[in-house]
Amino acid sequence: MANHKIAIIVGSLRDGSINRKVARSLCALHDRLDCEIVEIGDLPLYNPDLDGDDRPAAWSSFRDAVKGADGVLFVTPEYNRSMPGALKNAIDVGSRPYGGSAWAKKPAAIITVSPGALGGALANHALRQCCVFLDMPVMQQPEAYLGQVGDDKFGDDGLLKDGDLKKLVQTIAKAFADWCDIIIGGQSKLLGDSEQQMKNGG
């Protein structure tokens, strides 16, 4: 199976973010996911009035980075029982201009990480709701609400120490690589079939 180029969107802008540490750990744990964290902290707030030929360069490079990926992995904290504003802004930026969404059809997975017991489950589902509208096939299982995660779970290198959490993140990474195989493989087959039909005269 081919490797998949994955754009990781981290919902926290914080230095020392546990979400970013989980994202970096996941990249190191699966060799078929070629991951790149696409930064969202410098994206101006989305305003359609500014989305003409002179649009902010940061919007264009963000859209290009997402479009160039095979799949998208969101790793985010929960803020006030929803997703952080910075992440919602990134979703909005990537979704426009109308008809040119960077997100459409990209296989996706959502991991939420929190020191709290609920593991950011409500943020996870708020984000999932956006993905439905954005036409992103989102991995359903395993659900990834990582709760009670503190700095003690990480070593000096900022990566997950050996233990149950690391094993779970490894399982999620493997499931996401499989999910990308299924979705991308299915999409290529459909494309191949329709090209074949065209060649055969419709």
| Options 4, 23, 62, 78; binder of ligand FNR; rule CB under 6 A | 78
Q: Across the strands, what pairs with 146? A: 113
Task: Give ∠ CA 14-3-59 in degrees, rounded to 5.
Answer: 45
Residue holding tokens 């070593």? 155
**Contacting residues for 5 by C-beta, under 8 A, at least 6 apart:** 34, 36, 68, 69, 70, 71
CA 112 – CA 10 distance, rounded (Å): 10
> To the nearest whole angstrom, how small is the minimum distance from the Cβ of residue 79 to ligand FNR?
4
Q: Should residue 80 be labelled a site residue for ligand FNR when binding is judged by CB under 6 A?
A: yes
Q: Which stretch binds ligand FNR (CB under 6 A): 91-99, 112-120, 136-144, 177-185?
A: 112-120
Q: Are 16 and 149 in contact (CB under 8 A)?
A: no
Closest separation in Å from C-beta 12 to ligand FNR = 3
Judged by CB under 6 A, does residue 189 bind ligand FNR? no
Examine residue 165 and tell whether it contacts ligand FNR (CB under 6 A): no
| Count of positions on this chain that bind ligand FNR (CB under 6 A) | 15
| Chain residues that interact with ligand FNR, rule: CB under 6 A | 12, 14, 17-19, 77-81, 114-116, 118, 120
